[in-house]
Structure 1
Amino acid sequence: MKYIYLICFGIIAINKIKCHVTDRTKNGGMSETLTTQLPADNDTRNIIIKETSDKKHESPEKVQDGDNSVYLDDVLFAMKNQNWTGEEQPCLDHIYRLLYGLQNFTLWAVYEWDAQASEPQGLLFGNRYQLGNFDQCMHAPWAKKQPELKTKYCLADIVLERTDRNVRRKVEKLHYPYQSALDFIEHRPPHTRPLNDLTWGACVPSACAPSTVERLLAVMLARSHLGAAGMRANISITEPCQSSDDEREYDALFYTFFGVMGSITVICLICTYLNCRQKELDPDSRKSGFIKAFCLKENALDLLRMKKEGIEVFYGIRFFTICLIVLDHQIGISNSGPISDGLLSDQEIQTPLGLLILHDDLFVDTFFLLSGFLTITNMAKFKRMPNPLFIILKRYIRLIVAFAVVIFYVCAVYPHTGTGPLWIRGAGHDTELCRKNWWVNLLMLHNYIDTENMCIIQSWYIPCDFHFFVVTVLVYCIYRRLPNLGLIIAAVLTVAALVVPGVVNYMYDLSPVQLFTFEFLKDPRASREFNETYIKSHTRFAAYLVGFYSGYIFVTYSSKGNLNRISRKWSILGTCSALTLMLVVMVLGSMFLWRSYHPLEGAVYAALNRPAWACGVALIVLCCSFGHVPLVKGFLSWYPWVPLSRLSYGLYLTHSLLISRSVFITRNPQHNDHFEALISTVGVIFWGCIAALLLWLLAEAPANKLLALCLKRRIKRIMHLEASPVAVSPNTSMSTVPTGSGHLNDNLPDTIYFSSKI
């Protein structure tokens, strides 16, 4: 019996295999000519497809079995029951051909449909961007030979809304698995991304208008799992669709940029060669000064010079501050772009790590402190004050030259450096704003004029620093001539700098701090706090004044020649106290995100948090300068930080362009990984320093030296007209220590000669 059962089982198995092979042969048969026939009611639309090839094509039988066919039939049925206009007919014909081609599994139809997400995925986990396959849509192999099959890529913004009238219950347990998915999607904790918003990338026929694409996506979304509960979708396409036929024209601005920068490069190379070959040129000749100003070797050596004036810790503080700013921007800009786990990223804001990140804008106040500190240390060197207009002009040139080159690059070259689903939305928008408001930036007024269309968002810092410099220089000049009046003005400015931020915060009922949450990162220019308080000079002056006064303390006690005034014990204790103060200020600011508070409490914190942070940094500087803090002082004064710190300004100008480009060219959502963020940050810092080095060698250093040369010659002419000229000794030179806020080299001429007329 056992053998009989085995024989029967073998016969049955052979028959099943034979039948399976026979079925595959029948269904897989090829024919030389294929005709995709449509139902009779569509004959009037002339969408019967006939495709012929030399040898082989796909099966003439439709692939109609399975859920996919049901889905396609459902979409086709919904499309037929729409009210279409005559202008939409070419697009509609192509869509019908596409759907019937999908039923036959025709290559071009499957290729086109496969380039987009048929329905959103991962939306409940914060995956807002459903981008599909951008390159597959844009670069079909037959796009040039078969123009009727051309496609384009469109981005649609969709907001899902509930249509049911059921009582909406408060979500008590966010992750309770048996609650309604509608309640979960609709629930949005404060400062998190909405789960009912998505951006959908659609690969559609090139003949389709945006309104037709919106209706097509509405049909597809209604047949997806998100349409099962009858959610209403508000769909809008607000930007031009991208096509492979869209060639970016290199306009006159593009060629002008490379012409100007190429000419400067040639001049620098020639001057470098002449300066190296002619070492004994007459130092008083104009030719010598011009050649040295453009000499790459001389300008590179300026980066390596370390000035020992007792505040060498500035080098390390400056460089690590800009590194932390780059890290914050890397995390923030990446989280605002396509990521697959946005829900987890939003939940991290209430973790200890989130408390250390959300209020990291305090790092910028470190730069304000350094700038104010060095302003007074340089001004205090003069026995007689020169014309303040010369000092202000030198400062303006120092800040504006590199800034102007970066703006020029954004307007002319930046839009040609990448492609991607979000490229037009991101890089194109930034370029448009810079071409519109570049002149406001050059006037140092872009933190007050048309701030919602600001060119280069992080550049708000530059006019603030310049405004602070102008005010403090003028007040100090008044103080040197009329001490009592100068002290009164300084007292009024100090009180105003402390009070105004709190008053503005209280009057407009704003958040005490600018928290880097999703709604801010998505569009910083549209943030109310950003425009009212964060970027305004009159609300950010306090940290600069703390630096100014702490610098005055340093000048007063260091002028006696003895810097060792604080014992090691008190130096360590002061440094630890400063770090504790800074940590408390940062954490308290982040806690405003999720706790309730009285408006008056928020106003007090808004007024005091930034000067308190600056006091912490100033205390560290003074403890290291007048005492000895083991490891800290030696590490921050390490020589390799010298050239890197002098490149901080250029890195500040360029790093956001590198980060934004990597986000705007993203094809697919990325996983938010901390280690990957660190790696990306290191890369941005490296290439940003390379860009900053080029800015320094080709633009900043030559401009500074040419201005110094012009000022010296002008002053010498004045000296010849004076009866008794007075020269300033080298000890009262106007050389300055660089800072990350823009003091990256000498802010003023190396030696100034002035007379009583200046």
Structure 2
Amino acid sequence: MKYILTFIIVYLFRTRAHVTSNVKFDSSTKSAIDFHDENLLTSSDENVDDDIKYEKDYSGYRYMDDIVYGLKTENWTNEDLPCLNETLRLIRSLQNFTTWAVWEWDSVSSQPLGILSGNRFQLGNFDQCMSSPWDTNHHEIKTQYCLAEVALETTNHVKKKTLDEIEPYGNALDLIQHNTPYFRPLKYLTWGACVPACCQPQSVERLMRVVLSRSHLGAAGLRPAIHVNETCQRPDEPKTFDSPFYAFVVMIGILFVVCIVCTIINNKGNADFRKRNVICNAFCIVENAKDLLKMRKDGIEVIYGIRFLTICGVVMCHQSGAIDAGPTSNGIKLDEAQRVIGWFVLHDDLLVDTFFLISAFLVAKGILEYENMPSILLLILRRYVRLVVGLAAVIFFMAAVIEHTGSGPLWNRFIDVEADTCRENWWLNLLMLSNYINVNNMCLIVSWYIPCDFHYYVIVVIVFALYKRCSKLGVISAIILTAASVIIPGIVNYANKLHAIQLFTHEFRADPRGNQQFSLTYVKTHTRAASYAVGFFAGCWFIKYKAKENFRISQARSLTYLCAAFAVMVFIAFLGVSYQLRSYSELEGHLYAALNRPIWAAGVALIILTCSFGQVPLVTGFLKWYPWVPLSRLAYGIYLVHFIIIMRNVAIARNPEYYDSFSVFITSLGVICISMLFALLLWLFIEAPANKLFVLLFKKRSTEKKEVSGNEVKNSVDIPYQDTSGKTNSGFIDDNLPNTILFSKM
């Protein structure tokens, strides 16, 4: 019994000593010099048993000691010493498991994860770093969140291979260093770090170099190049509201109040009152909403469905591209998916040519229906107002408000950059010059389409006016311009040795403004005009045969034409993508660069004409479905706002997103719905009132001129504000001028 009691006492004493040694926390902080002088971890002690030695040699302690050793071997300057001391104090407190130190260290990715599957962004926990409970009380432990760009380079000779050539027992460096034109490089990382607030960018680079060298990548002998190029984010530096922000809020508030008041006044009055009070009618929300619901029976109702479905495709393509450019956990799978549906992802810019075709088709239809040619300047001015009002409102929002709508580890990279470009170059967008001047800093990058379409409209109006004065000269000019629109893209492609198509690869999506082909051919007016030319001639053909009441296409021919159009469009799209999978001659590539867009546009034009004159009830009925009418008229607003929503979703991302095609589809539907809501508000409160006020302004001038002259004959200035029946109408744009509602893409 005595021996049993002695054993129990000894056992309890040893257990108490063991537990005490493991829960001894020290919340005090010491200087870096004190930390190095004190031997916290003893590797051997004759008075402790093997279990306690194991606890003392726990890998977490060894890891932190290794980090300290790495920090000591770095070449620190006097400017870096505050950061070094604070980091060493952090590690000292971390080894004692002090709350503030664990909180800070726990918000950092200690080592990159998932890089072999294309997970570039190692963001850690941004919110934990930026919102600690003691931010306002303990300024000595302030933190900041920094993003560093890491390039994993090696001095060893590495045989670069493609993904299909990688062997499971080969060197992983072959995979990390692989590089193809169509797959993302795996050697680049964007790493988020939560560091003391006193650390300078060069200090952060040294800290992250030490941590990376202690990760599993350090075994490969990599020599990482690390750079902190962006300003670190701090929780104590909130963005202040400036005068542009307040100006935007006041402008929106005034427009909202005016529209509500005018709507109330307009609805209380009778028909005569509404007719006399044209200003109230212009701002009336109910009247502007009714304009969206008007369906014009002019024989080309299929365009309603085509343009809305096309803008939906554009949104989905942009959504897919944004996921590719942002944090993605399985980037390699995304690249592989592009090879399966490559025509939709890598050559989806053909959708934009659909909009060029529709715009030109409606312009041709509109101006050919004029009995007398209106004033050229008036037509151009009206077109400009139609385009620029909504664009100006969106640019104003981008420059003044968007930076206050969220936060995130990538917020400065995506949103602040976009806001800065709009503050600097907004005037280029409003002057329709953004696709030629300072393209690398274009405000709202998807807006490149607007100046292109405006330039085409100006050229068409001038050439048509020339045709009215001298038909032979007008026809010759049209032929020359059409031939040039087809030839110039091939010449530019040949002169700059560019790829046959603009590939929407990861490299492009990460920095589209820096892409050479994007700035040389993709956004330029002179290289995208061929589809517009096809649309104009298709519109002329439609007007010619519409006058023949008995002209119809048989059902057999209709089905043949429709199948041929689809076949041509699919073929031209897949042919372009095939150039990334096979070798081809330069001549073939340049010819494709010149012809692929007009051929695609010809296919779309054939569908429109076949549905208009032919007998394909299933397709025609679907495209003429009435709900497409209001939705298609909101397409310009959807184009203006959808990319802002997509960009914000990427900028607020805290963690990498898993790429899945169905998830992209679902997310895109949400973006389309939200974009439609904002497009509706943009139309009701800004676009529709501005269009109607413009009509009223020149209508009043026209009336005054007729009263002075005493001439009862209609003045030519009045003509743009009459429909084809001769009735004056100051409502929706379709009732006043050629319907040239626009859509766009990047």
TM-score between both structures, scaled by the size of structure 2: 0.91
Paired residues of 1:63 and 1:103 also in contact (CA < 8 A) = no
State the partner residue of 2:424. 436
Paired residues of 1:174 and 1:184 also in contact (CA < 8 A) = no
Q: 1-side partners of 2:305 and 2:135: how far apart?
A: 55
Paired residues of 1:499 and 1:607 also in contact (CA < 8 A) = yes
Tell me which of 512, 518, 534 is aligned to 2:506.
518
State the partner residue of 2:286. 297
State the partner residue of 1:363. 351
Assess, with a 3 A threshold, how the Cα gap between structure 1 residues 150 and 721 changes in structure 2: closer, same or farther: same
Give 1:83 deviation, angstroms: 2.6
Paired residues of 2:151 and 2:189 also in contact (CA < 8 A) = yes
- Paired amino acid for 1:637: K
Please give the residue correspondences for 1:150-169 in structure 2 after superposition, counting only pairs within 5 Å: 150-164=142-156, 166=157, 168=159
RMSD over aligned Cα atoms = 2.8
1:462 aligned to 2:450?
Answer: yes
Q: 2-side partners of 1:94 and 1:64: how far apart?
A: 25
1:313 aligned to 2:302?
Answer: yes
- Paired amino acid for 1:362: L
Q: 2-side partners of 1:265 and 1:704: how far apart?
A: 17
State the partner residue of 1:571. 558
Please give the residue correspondences for 1:694-733 in structure 2 after superposition, counting only pairs within 5 Å: 694-722=681-709, 724-727=711-714
State the partner residue of 1:79. 71
Give 1:348 deviation, angstroms: 1.9
Which range moves more in the overlay, 221-230 or 407-416? Answer: 221-230
Q: 1-side partners of 2:715 and 2:291: how far apart?
A: 23
Paired residues of 2:147 and 2:228 also in contact (CA < 8 A) = yes
Paired residues of 2:144 and 2:195 also in contact (CA < 8 A) = yes
1:26 aligned to 2:17?
Answer: no
1:334 aligned to 2:323?
Answer: yes
- Paired amino acid for 1:25: V
- Paired amino acid for 2:166: H
State the partner residue of 2:43. none
Tell me which of 123, 126, 136 is aligned to 1:144.
136
Q: 1-side partners of 2:10 and 2:216: how far apart?
A: 37
- Paired amino acid for 1:575: L
Can you list the C-alpha shifts for 1:582-617, whole angstroms capped at 9, x where unaligned? Answer: 000111111122322222111100111000000000
1:233 aligned to 2:209?
Answer: no
SS of corresponding position for 1:556? helix
1:346 aligned to 2:335?
Answer: yes
Can you list the C-alpha shifts for 1:432-480, whole angstroms capped at 9, x where unaligned? Answer: 0000000000000100000000000110000000000110011111111
Paired residues of 1:708 and 1:748 also in contact (CA < 8 A) = no
Give 1:17 deviation, angstroms: 10
Q: 1-side partners of 2:79 and 2:132: how far apart?
A: 25
Give 1:325 deviation, angstroms: 0.2
Give 1:174 deviation, angstroms: 2.7
Paired residues of 1:381 and 1:732 also in contact (CA < 8 A) = no
Q: 1-side partners of 2:428 and 2:14: how far apart?
A: 75
Tell me which of 627, 631, 636 is aligned to 1:644.
631
Q: Between the two proteins, what is the percent identity of the paired residues?
A: 47
Q: 1-side partners of 2:553 and 2:338: how far apart?
A: 40
Paired residues of 2:160 and 2:179 also in contact (CA < 8 A) = no
1:94 aligned to 2:86?
Answer: yes
Please give the residue correspondences for 1:180-579 in structure 2 after superposition, counting only pairs within 5 Å: 180-281=171-272, 285=276, 288-351=277-340, 353-562=341-550, 565-579=552-566
- Paired amino acid for 2:115: L
State the partner residue of 2:50. none
Paired residues of 1:62 and 1:104 also in contact (CA < 8 A) = no
Question: How many residues are paired up?
Answer: 715
Paired residues of 1:655 and 1:688 also in contact (CA < 8 A) = yes
Q: 2-side partners of 1:602 and 1:96: how far apart?
A: 59
Q: 1-side partners of 2:317 and 2:22: how far apart?
A: 57
Tell me which of 126, 129, 133 is aligned to 1:134.
126
Q: 2-side partners of 1:467 and 1:633: how far apart?
A: 32
SS of corresponding position for 1:118? coil
Q: 1-side partners of 2:373 and 2:641: how far apart?
A: 35
Q: 1-side partners of 2:82 and 2:429: how far apart?
A: 47
Assess, with a 3 A threshold, how the Cα gap between structure 1 residues 750 and 545 changes in structure 2: closer, same or farther: closer
State the partner residue of 1:653. 640
State the partner residue of 1:676. 663
Which range moves more in the overlay, 14-23 or 644-653? Answer: 14-23
Paired residues of 1:137 and 1:153 also in contact (CA < 8 A) = yes
Give 1:37 deviation, angstroms: 6.6
Q: 1-side partners of 2:675 and 2:184: how far apart?
A: 30
SS of corresponding position for 1:396? helix
Q: 2-side partners of 1:146 and 1:490: how far apart?
A: 73
Assess, with a 3 A threshold, how the Cα gap between structure 1 residues 47 and 612 changes in structure 2: closer, same or farther: farther
Paired residues of 1:378 and 1:734 also in contact (CA < 8 A) = no
Paired residues of 2:421 and 2:442 also in contact (CA < 8 A) = yes
Give 1:141 deviation, angstroms: 1.1
Paired residues of 2:166 and 2:174 also in contact (CA < 8 A) = no
State the partner residue of 1:54. none
Q: 2-side partners of 1:88 and 1:186: how far apart?
A: 32
State the partner residue of 1:693. 680
SS of corresponding position for 1:672? coil
State the partner residue of 1:755. none
- Paired amino acid for 2:645: L
Please give the residue correspondences for 1:36-75 in structure 2 after superposition, counting only pairs within 5 Å: 64-75=56-67
Paired residues of 1:378 and 1:736 also in contact (CA < 8 A) = no
Give 1:70 deviation, angstroms: 1.2
Assess, with a 3 A threshold, how the Cα gap between structure 1 residues 237 and 39 changes in structure 2: closer, same or farther: closer
Assess, with a 3 A threshold, how the Cα gap between structure 1 residues 329 and 39 changes in structure 2: closer, same or farther: closer
Assess, with a 3 A threshold, how the Cα gap between structure 1 residues 190 and 34 changes in structure 2: closer, same or farther: closer
SS of corresponding position for 1:201? strand
Give 1:82 deviation, angstroms: 2.4
- Paired amino acid for 2:217: L
SS of corresponding position for 2:271? coil
Give 1:727 deviation, angstroms: 2.6
Can you list the C-alpha shifts for 1:519-550, whole angstroms capped at 9, x where unaligned? Answer: 10001000111000000011111101111101
Paired residues of 2:706 and 2:715 also in contact (CA < 8 A) = no
SS of corresponding position for 1:228? helix
Q: 1-side partners of 2:74 and 2:334: how far apart?
A: 40
Give 1:148 deviation, angstroms: 0.6
- Paired amino acid for 2:283: F
Give 1:290 deviation, angstroms: 0.9
Q: 2-side partners of 1:508 and 1:545: how far apart?
A: 24
State the partner residue of 1:115. 107
Paired residues of 2:160 and 2:177 also in contact (CA < 8 A) = no
Can you list the C-alpha shifts for 1:87-113, whole angstroms capped at 9, x where unaligned? Answer: 222211111111111221211111111
SS of corresponding position for 1:189? coil
Gaps of 5+ in 2: 41-52, 725-730, 739-746
Paired residues of 2:422 and 2:442 also in contact (CA < 8 A) = yes
- Paired amino acid for 1:566: I
Which range moves more in the overlay, 72-81 or 129-138? Answer: 72-81
SS of corresponding position for 1:705? helix
SS of corresponding position for 1:301? helix
Q: 2-side partners of 1:266 and 1:643: how far apart?
A: 25
SS of corresponding position for 1:371? helix
Gaps of 5+ in 1: 1-10, 49-60, 738-743, 752-758
Q: 1-side partners of 2:63 and 2:708: how far apart?
A: 92
Q: 2-side partners of 1:15 and 1:321: how far apart?
A: 82
